Amino acid sequence: MFYNKCMKIIDCHTHLQSEKLIKEYFANTDREFAVSMQALDSLIGNGNEFWDATKKFDNIFVCPCIDLLLPIKKQLEEIDKLSQYNKIIGLKIYTGYQPIFADDERLTPVFEYAMGKGLSVVYHCGVGAENLQSAKGYDYASCLPIAKLAKRYPDVNFIASHFDYPHFDDCAKLITEFENVFTDVSGELENHKNYSNKQLADKFICKIKPVLNKYDIDKLSDKVMFGTDYFGKNSNFYAVEEYIYICESLFGEKNLDKLLFKNCLKAYPKIQKFIN
């Protein structure tokens, strides 16, 4: 592998929900920075622990989630207050986990808030994992409705997470057509069956590579980010180094710096306020 420890790296997609998880993550990786996606309370129940933990670390940037089942305006007001203490760079929406399409009109205040604050909007897209057994809510998690938003809000960046697994072609087409749409490779190595992470990575590479080969790899590499979906060493989302292997295997040595660092700065313009 070309990767060396001198390269700057931002993990664009983690779930570092507590101080314990943050310390665990950085103790076991060479990563410099990480973006932590707040999970829905209905999934995790992390409450204020997420906010109290993430504000203590200069190298953690956050994307608070918007819960469709709660008043959206009130959530945005609370996020505005929290932005004084936390390094907020985007807003996370759990399409698929909640019955909502990416372009749902009820989310209009979210898009307008993001536009006014220079924030990106991140979606859970696809099933997001190699061995996920359930396709519950999959129709809602499609990346395709993001196209309408990309046209309507050209000054807002949208991230279709997980490369919209397994509909890679939809996602590749979307990110190449719209300058303000990005994706990541996170969440593809969910380990239910005790395979090695290397085995899971190789399986994913074999699945996605034929799709990517239909596109200009160098252009595609401008829109894809390194991310892991890390959720703790005792979870099914604990791989880290294997995602670097995926990035290099798919996009080559010359593009690695973009996937590991530079593309994240483009996808999340607000992050440059916190990184020199």
Burial grade of 105 (CB within 10 A; 0-12, 13-18, 19 or more): exposed
Dist CA 187 CA 263 (whole Å):
18
User: Contact 191/239 with Cβ under 8 angstroms?
Assistant: yes
Q: Per-10-residue mean pLDDT for the chain, 276 residues long?
A: 71 95 85 93 76 94 95 97 95 94 97 98 81 61 97 98 96 98 95 84 96 94 97 87 96 96 97 88
| Structure confidence by residue, pLDDT tens digits, 86-108 | 999 999 999 999 999 999 999 99
Burial grade of 16 (CB within 10 A; 0-12, 13-18, 19 or more): buried
Q: What is the pLDDT of residues 162-184, one digit of tens each?
A: 999 999 999 999 999 999 999 99
Give pLDDT, residue 167. Answer: 94
Going from the N-terminus, what domains does the chain have, and what CATH number goes with each?
Answer: 10-273 (3.20.20.140)
Q: Which 3 state secondary structure label does DSSP give 121?
A: strand
Cβ contact 4:260 at 8 Å: no
Distances (CA, A) of 119 to 14, 45, 59, 137: 18, 25, 18, 26
Q: What is the largest CA-CA distance in the chain?
A: 48
